[in-house]
A = this chain, B = another copy of it.
Amino acid sequence: MSAAESFASARSIGHDAWIGAARMSFAEGKEIYAQDEDADLIYRVIRGAVRTSHLLADGRRQIGDFYYEGEVFGLELSSAHRFSAEALTSCEIAMIRRSSPASGRDVQVDRLMWAAAGSELARAQSHMLLLGRTTAAEKVARFLLDVQARCSGDAAILPMSRQDMADYLGLTIETVSRMLSRFQSEGLIRFAGARRFNVVRPTSLAASAAF
């Protein structure tokens, strides 16, 4: 199963469980849940975008993932969150209480949790492959393709800062910026402002991603 398929299933399976779920709005930058906080809710992005991140003792930060409209996050299958979640943009979040695993009480929620768990695992595995053994150019190219694949409009939007991208990819902001400039100068992509871009030559960009 590709990451994209996994996201799709997380969107569709157990959809009914979200009907009538509690909703909350978060302003840009606000924390949705904290690292080490109890994890007894699961969340779904109704509108906006979310990042999960893990802060190390020395101040370094690893971004877990980015979540867009319709995607489910916050399921970590352990008692406490290893990552915190913050609103990248102003956003609206639905949340439901997770039933105890495999209790069989609420089949709807159980199915949702399995789909979410599968999605999370697929994401983490893809992310591992990305972080593990690639050059900066490959990382950035793959990231751009991923973002573009999940954007519906004619232009892809980057709801996150360069620092977020860097922390996601295990690079510095300078390197991310250089790669973006390089791809643009090579005519692979075109930016309209810092957070809005089009992929001009998808095949060449995919070749840079080299998977």
Which residues of A come within 8 Å of B, CB atoms?
Answer: 1, 6, 54, 56-58, 60-62, 64, 76-80, 82-83, 101-102, 104, 107, 110-111, 113-114, 117-118, 120-122, 124-125, 127-129, 131-133, 167, 170, 210-211
Extra inter-chain contacts (12) besides given A1-B80, A102-B111, A104-B110, CB under 8 Å: A56-B211, A62-B132, A76-B122, A77-B117, A102-B113, A102-B114, A117-B121, A124-B128, A128-B131, A131-B132, A131-B170, A133-B167
Residue of B nearest to A122 (CB): B78
What is the bound-complex CA distance between A102 and B107, given in angstroms? 7
Residue of B nearest to A166 (CB): B133
Q: Are B122 and A121 in contact (CB under 8 A)?
A: no
Kindly list chain B residues whose C-beta atoms are within 8 Å of the C-beta of A210. Answer: 57-58
Q: Are A78 and B131 in contact (CB under 8 A)?
A: no
State the 9 A-B residue pairs at the shortest beta-carbon distance, nearest first. Answer: A77-B118, A124-B124, A1-B78, A102-B110, A104-B104, A101-B114, A131-B131, A132-B170, A62-B132
Q: Are B6 and A78 in contact (CB under 8 A)?
A: yes
Kindly list chain B residues whose C-beta atoms are within 8 Å of the C-beta of A111. Answer: 101-102
Task: Point out the residue from B60, B78, B121 that lies within 8 Å of A124, measured CB to CB.
Answer: B121
Kindly list chain B residues whose C-beta atoms are within 8 Å of the C-beta of A61. Answer: 133
Minimum CB–CB distance for A83 against chain B, Å: 7
Q: Are B129 and A62 in contact (CB under 8 A)?
A: yes
Residue of B nearest to A9 (CB): B78
Kindly list chain B residues whose C-beta atoms are within 8 Å of the C-beta of A117. Answer: 77, 117, 121
The answer to whether A114 and B77 touch (CB under 8 A), given A128-B124, A129-B62, A131-B170, is yes
Kindly list chain B residues whose C-beta atoms are within 8 Å of the C-beta of A121. Answer: 76-78, 117, 120-121, 124
Minimum CB–CB distance for A118 against chain B, Å: 3
What is the bound-complex CA distance between A129 and B60, given in angstroms? 10
Kindly list chain B residues whose C-beta atoms are within 8 Å of the C-beta of A167. Answer: 132-133
Q: Can you list 20 contacts pairing A with B, beta carbon distance less than 8 Å?
A: A1-B82, A54-B125, A54-B129, A56-B133, A57-B210, A64-B128, A76-B121, A77-B114, A77-B118, A101-B111, A101-B114, A102-B102, A102-B113, A102-B114, A104-B104, A117-B117, A121-B121, A128-B128, A131-B131, A132-B167
